[in-house]
Amino acid sequence: MSLSASTLPSIIASKKWFGFDLDDTLHEFRKASAQASQSVFESIHAQYGIGIDSLKSSYSQVLQTTTAGAFTDGRTSTDYRRERFTRLLQTHGINDANQDTDVESLLTIYKSSLKSSLALKAGALSFLRAIQDRGKKIIVVTEGPADAQEWTIRELGLEPLVDVAVTTNEIGKSKVEGLFSIVLYKYDINREEIIYFGDNAIRDIKASQEEGIVAVLYDEKQNNQLSDKFSLRINSWKAMQDILELES
């Protein structure tokens, strides 16, 4: 393969920092959260007889209204979940004296199910270890409550590999509101020293590119695109590790 300065193998050789989104980039967040939500719906159904499909529909609407700010208001994951489950129960007319107890029970069910469902993306752990073995730095820049994302990193066994973890909740800005520029300044990272990987074309790729960061879209459903630094794409972490080792 003939390499130019704009090809991904050539680019990563010069990078000191490897940045990552967390949810659905390094781990299977959608699957885990869907399973945790299903456990909540089943509990409500068992207690109140409300149809699960109806609960799913209502919860989807609740999520749209409670996550619009990309978790920039400083609240904890428990605060957000408590608000969502309270609204879900209220949507279905559950306002009885036991509501607070019901919500606390749902919080426990959700977190327990989430924990048991967490799973890294295939090849992610090996790739991160390969980065660390080469003396490079790893930074996670993600949208979400700080406590939840730090908990996720620990539960997934990534804590020894991650040098820095930054959340929108901690900074108070979403990715599309300038989070990346704040991160570069706060941690004294030159934009020429970092490459960033994420699964969202707008919030991860476009937002980081606007700060002059080389960004790579993680998309398991598409072919790899390695030849143009403005439209780089990778479909597996194994493929990414192979590229890293090619340049070692």
Last residue of a domain, one of 100, 117, 134: 117
Amino acid (1-letter code) at residue 66: T
Position 105 in a domain: yes
CATH code of the domain containing 141: 3.40.50.1000
Distance CA 81, CA 83 (A): 5
Residues 140 and 215 in one domain: yes
Per-residue pLDDT tens for 142-153? 998 999 999 999
Q: How much is the pLDDT for 3?
A: 42
b vs e for 167-178, b when ≥16 Cβ sit within 10 Å of the residue's Cβ?
A: bbbbbebbbbbe
pLDDT reading at 35 higher than 70 = yes
Residues 232 and 137 in one domain: yes
For the chain, the distance separating the N- and C-terminal CA atoms, rounded to the nearest angstrom, is 16
Q: How much is the pLDDT for 2?
A: 38
Last residue of a domain, one of 80, 101, 117: 117
Q: How much is the pLDDT for 133?
A: 96
82 Cβ partners below 8 Å, 6+ apart? 103, 107
pLDDT reading at 42 higher than 60 = yes
| pTM for the full predicted model | 0.92
- 195 by DSSP, 3-state: which? strand
Per-residue pLDDT tens for 115-125? 999 999 999 99
Structure-token pair, residue 71 = 């978790």
- 214 by DSSP, 3-state: which? strand
Residues 40 and 58 in one domain: yes
Size of the chain, expressed as the number of residues it contains: 248
CA distances from 41 to 48, 59, 97, 208 (A): 10, 9, 20, 37
Last residue of a domain, one of 91, 117, 143: 117
- Are 22 and 149 contacting, i.e. CB atoms less than 8 angstroms apart? yes
- Are 123 and 93 contacting, i.e. CB atoms less than 8 angstroms apart? no
pLDDT reading at 221 higher than 90 = yes
pLDDT reading at 229 higher than 50 = yes
Distance CA 104, CA 159 (A): 28
- Are 208 and 199 contacting, i.e. CB atoms less than 8 angstroms apart? no
CATH code of the domain containing 54: 1.10.150
Position 1 in a domain: no
Q: What are phi and psi of 132, to 5 degrees?
A: -60, -40
